[in-house]
A = this chain, B = another copy of it.
Amino acid sequence: MKFAVTITLKNDVLDPQGKVVGQTLKNIGIKNLNSIRQGKFFEIDLDESDSNKGEKKVKEMCEKLLANQIIEDFQIKKI
């Protein structure tokens, strides 16, 4: 069973990367860009058939390691 995890900076937390990337996009001629924020992405393959249990596992991974909950939020999706 596969899960997709996206980890994003909490609102109000400075995103230095997003800032520079957004500026560069504008410089190379991309218009209409309101904002861009950068985060992390994980593709996780679990040996688990119960999707509830799987999701719980992934949540545990996020909390214990993948996300830094002081500055980041995470989202889990089954794929």
Cross-chain contact of A7 among B18, B33, B41, B64 (Cβ < 8 A): B41
| A42 pairs with B32, CB closer than 8 A | no
Tell me if B38 and A42 are in contact (CB < 8 A): yes
Q: How far is the CA of A24 from the CA of B66 in the complex (A)?
A: 10
Interface of A, secondary structure class, is strand
For chain A, the count of residues having a C-beta within 8 Å of the partner chain is 33
**A contact set with B: CB distance below 8 Å:** 4, 6-8, 18, 21, 24-25, 28, 30, 32-48, 57, 60-61, 64-66
Question: With A6-B6, A32-B48, A36-B43 given, can you name 4 additional A-B contacts, CB distance below 8 Å?
Answer: A32-B46, A32-B57, A36-B42, A38-B42
